[in-house]
Structure 1
Amino acid sequence: MDWVAQYTWVIWIVLILLFITIEMLSLEFTFLMLAIGSAIGLVSGLIGVPWWAQLLIGAAASVLLLLLVRPPLLRALRKGEDPTKSNVDALLGARGQVVQTVSGIGGQVKLANGELWTATVAADSPATSLEPGTAVRVLAIQGATAVVVPQERNS
């Protein structure tokens, strides 16, 4: 135990560097809070606190930072985020029109954004096939295939 007491500062520095390195890869402030808590533990050791108390102080500081500081930081980071859906999320609910007869095994639709997609009729759809010109709505995307249902007239 004498070795631990003598070289606790080295352990703290290693932990701080490890947490900062992991934080640079994750970018979600969790390991940053742990690194700051470790720095507080290091400072407590430098002022003469025993190693077991340093551990408690560092752990308590980390937990407090995770609970009190991290959530507002994340909110501030995400405040300027673009709310526009993109990729597959933007296609869900999109409207389109059947170009080539769509059945349970295939077909083609042209979506409102101008993209041409391979499509199948949803399994729970009342229609088993959709003829060209039929208005459709995208229910899901499975790989590179749009799962569509006929568009109701009133929506």
Structure 2
Amino acid sequence: MEWLLDNGWILWLVLFLGLAAVETLTLDLFFLMLSVGALAALVATFVGAGLVLQIVVFAVVALLMILLVRPVAVRHLRKGPADQLNNIERLVGAAALALEPVTAHSGTVKIGGDTWTARSADGAALPAGTRLSVARIDGATAVVQPAAAPDSRPAPAGDA
């Protein structure tokens, strides 16, 4: 135990590197915030803080990072040009075709060549063959709604 108190910096360094490594697998920015807390505790160790103060520094810095920095960082990472959207975000608003009746609980649709399980957004039954649009994606299920009818008004003269 005395060795651990004398060499506590090793514990914080291993925790810092371990949490940073876990972050590379999750890419959620949560473990990165904990890792920064461990880095702050490592610095506190070198400044001469006792073990209890090191733990408090870790907890406070990690909590502040999670509550204040992470939401801003996640918001900045999620916004971006349309060409940087992930596959799920690109599907929202896409055209779909009901392959079998879609209800509030079940159904199958074709979206861009792929077959998805589906359910209707408003709970209405949509018959097979209906043109739909994707309202959102819940896990592996597309939540769909009837596609907006194309504009049937004649084009103004001269716009041919």
TM range (shorter): 0.5 to 0.7
Task: After TM superposition, give the deviation of residue 77 of structure 1 in Å.
Answer: 1.2
TM-score by length of 1: 0.61
Structure ID, larger Rg: 1
> Which residue of structure 1 aligns with residue 32 of structure 2?
32
CA positional deviation for 1:103: 7.4
> Distance between the aligned counterparts of 2:146 and 2:44, measured in 1?
67
Which structure 2 residues correspond to residues 41-120 of structure 1 after superposition, within 5 A? 41-82=41-82, 85-87=89-91, 89-91=92-94, 94=95, 96=97
TM-score, normalised to structure 2, is 0.59
Structure 1 CA distance for aligned equivalents of residues 22 and 53 of structure 2: 25
Give the deviation of 1:2 after TM superposition: 1.5
Unpaired runs of 5+ in structure 2?
A: 103-108, 152-160
Shift of 1:4: 2.3
Tell me how far apart the structure 2 counterparts of residues 116 and 78 of structure 1 sit (CA, whole Å).
25
The one-letter code sitting in structure 1 at the alignment partner of 2:69 is: V
CA gap of 1:81–1:28, structure 2 versus 1, over 3 A, is farther
Q: Secondary structure at the match of 2:90?
A: coil
CA contact (8 A) 1:96 1:137 kept: yes
Instruction: Work out the CA distance in 2 between the residues paired with 1:95 and 1:26.
Output: 31
Per-residue deviation, 1:95? 5.8
What displacement does 1:138 show?
Answer: 3.9
Q: 1:17 to 1:11 in 2, by over 3 A?
A: same
1:99-139 superposed Cα distances (whole Å, 9 cap, x missing partner)? xxx679xxxx998x7x597xxxx9x7486xx6xxxx61348
Ranges in structure 1 where 5+ consecutive residues have no aligned partner:
none
Partner AA of 1:86 in structure 2 = R
How much is the aligned-residue C-alpha RMSD, in angstroms?
Answer: 4.3
- 2:22 matched residue in structure 1: 22
The DSSP-based 3-state class of the residue aligned with 1:61 is helix
Tell whether the 8 Å contact from 2:96 to 2:133 is kept in structure 1 after alignment. Answer: no
Q: Aligned partners of 1:54 and 1:154: how far apart in 2? A: 64
Give SS of 1:86's match.
helix
**Would the aligned equivalents of 2:98 and 2:132 in 1 still touch at CA under 8 Å?**
no
Identical pairs, percent? 31
Please tell me whether the aligned partners of residues 125 and 149 of structure 1 are also in contact (alpha carbons under 8 angstroms): no
In structure 2, do the counterparts of structure 1 residues 2 and 136 end up closer, same or farther at CA, with 3 Å as the change threshold? same
The residue type paired with residue 50 of structure 1 is G
State whether residues 12 and 41 of structure 1, in contact with CA within 8 Å, keep that contact through their aligned partners in structure 2: yes
Q: Do the aligned residues in 2 keep the contact of 1:95 with 1:137 (CA within 8 Å)?
A: yes
Counterpart for residue 8 of structure 1: 8
